[in-house]
Structure 1
Amino acid sequence: MTGWNQFVGVTSFDEGTLARHYCAVKKTARMGAFQLAHASCPQHAQFEKSPNTAPKCLSANEKTVHVVAHFRAAPPASMSGRFHPLFLARDYEKCVVARGKCRLEAPPEEYKPLFTVVDFPSFGFRTMFGSWVVNRVMHPVSTPEFDTLLMFHAPGMGVVNLAEQFALDPALTREIAHELGVDHPAVRGQDIIMSTDLVVTFKRQGGGLQRHAYAVKQAKDLTPRVVEKLAIEQSYWTKRRTPWSLILDTNLPRQLIANMDLIMEFAEEGRLPCGARPARDVTAWIVPHLGTGAPLRTVCSRCDAALGLARGTALSVAYHLAVQGTLPLDLSGAFLPNATLKPIHAVA
């Protein structure tokens, strides 16, 4: 899993201390401390998605959809506080297990999350995200969750599976809540199914797989009650012998996410504005010119002129190569079109 831990630091929670670079959360007598994942990267300008972003293409018949549909409209006042009836803890066996939801052992493209973005009203962004890693539409229900997914789609992360909105067994979460002396999450007096925002499976360098659970939150939302819920979640995964970390929106690598949002549309070769042969010609032309010190947009513009291609074709191919990891660009550095290319090596 080379490369993934350069963005999110992870240590074993059982060690009892927080590793260097981790954010600290105030301890309580009942819960102790729980660990926060820290994404180390240079400070760059905040990348903001347009609130009016509309989906370019979203077809239920496509195996993968490399576009994003954002929903921003706030729900009507009459819908505030509503919850999906299938999310009650008493219905876990019937509505999660029996329906085959949240099965980490299932093929990545067949995974079913506990809920989707259309199951309940929400303020802010809700996103349908076509993943080229798991070959299905994913359902991050907040902007930080969407940004985290983009981060884990970056080349070199070693990710083989992503499972969002993973349901936690209420029998165990109730037991943990009792042990910690905190109230189990409930709505109108009825316990609900807790969930983990994201479970990521990484491929180890020496072979084998490693699973890691993540909660994704906004720093401003860490109220005492949210801390109690996170403590239950952390203990759940500790009992399951699975590492768990908290990712805060303030610690995400913003420039990496901005570049991934830019190039994600070209993850599949079929979405390029040219055929396979011109794409190979562009690749063969770009690679020898990477060491000129010119920005990517300039190199690609010269390539279009040299090969007689439509303007922007070479840049699209470069984006495709970058997202596939074939062109080893520094996606966490400068904004990609303006980046000065000084790769360690290049593969034609």
Structure 2
Amino acid sequence: MGRGTGAGADYKPWFTIQDVPSSGRTHRPHGMKTGRVHHLLSDIERDLFYILDWSPSVIDIREQFPLDRGITQAIAERIGVRHPRDTATRTPLVMTTDFLCDAMRDGRRVLIARSVKPVDKLQDDRVVEKQEIERRYWVEQDVDWGIVTDADIPATYAENIGRVHNCASVADLAQPFPGYYAEKAALIAREVPMRAYLTLHQFCAEMDLRLALPPATTLMLIRHLIATRVLVCDTT
């Protein structure tokens, strides 16, 4: 499969972090839903990805999704704006949407498209022109489209999800034998209700000692249990 095609674990983004210079930090988190590495070009994309990946209604997440160039060129011509072009060759570029997701709404599987932009960038007329091309593209496809800015992201919520996100899988960690961490996590999960009187720090210290684990191992496994929803906590 080529770039911009596939679904789930087989999807390949049109752009990877190696292809595009980014004004912010780039990120390559491992998706809990897709089981693949996602290519995210900014902190805002990372935070929205955490929220989408955590949402029970979201089924699949495709980042840097390519739009049909013929359609975007026609839209640009119709509304009288310049279509993005390569600065050197003047060749029309393929436009992309930051996230295209499959989600369940009212028992139906639907598509949701989201563009991610820093709020201050929306003061730039050229950015607004390109967003209008993208908006009209998805309206014509009858797809729910919207812009998400840093002002729209609940920062604490995204940060809390981020704390557990990379602990979703423990199978690939170096361990004494296959299933070692899964076995210890199951033991820890059983102990949590019986030690609700302890602080998290106290509980982790006690379990590290009781199970002869290296320091902070229980904390990592607690995060794993939250990420896999064995333990439930308030992430807001």
Settle same-fold status: TM greater than 0.5: yes
Within 5 A, what are the aligned runs for 1:1-348? 100-103=2-5, 106-154=6-54, 156-188=55-87, 189-204=90-105, 206=107, 208-222=108-122, 223-270=124-171, 271=173, 274-290=180-196, 292=197, 294-332=198-236
Amino acid paired to 2:91:
Q
* 1:101 positional shift: 2.6
| Residues 29, 166 of structure 2: 8 Å contact kept | no
* More relative contact order, 1 or 2 (CA 8 Å, 6+ apart): 1
Unaligned runs of 5+ in 1: 1-98, 333-348
- SS of the residue corresponding to residue 131 of structure 1 reads coil
Distance of 2:29 and 2:51 partners within structure 1: 13
| Residues 67, 94 of structure 2: 8 Å contact kept | yes
Q: Write the deviation string for residues 17-58 of structure 1: whole angstroms up to 9, x where unpaired.
A: xxxxxxxxxxxxxxxxxxxxxxxxxxxxxxxxxxxxxxxxxx
Unaligned runs of 5+ in 2: none
| Residues 286, 303 of structure 1: 8 Å contact kept | no
RMSD: 2.2
Amino acid paired to 2:68:
D
Identity between Structure 1 and Structure 2 (%): 29
Distance of 2:120 and 2:91 partners within structure 1: 27
* 1:315 positional shift: 1.7
Relative to the length of structure 2, the TM-score reads: 0.86
Higher helix share: 2
* 1:272 positional shift: 8.5
- SS of the residue corresponding to residue 228 of structure 1 reads helix
Distance of 1:107 and 1:165 partners within structure 2: 13
* 1:227 positional shift: 0.8
Number of aligned residues: 228
Q: Write the deviation string for residues 108-131 of structure 1: whole angstroms up to 9, x where unpaired.
A: 111111111112434432222222
Distance of 1:272 and 1:150 partners within structure 2: 25
| Residues 286, 300 of structure 1: 8 Å contact kept | no
* 1:305 positional shift: 4.2
Q: Write the deviation string for residues 221-276 of structure 1: whole angstroms up to 9, x where unpaired.
A: 11111111111101100110110011001221111222222222211132497533
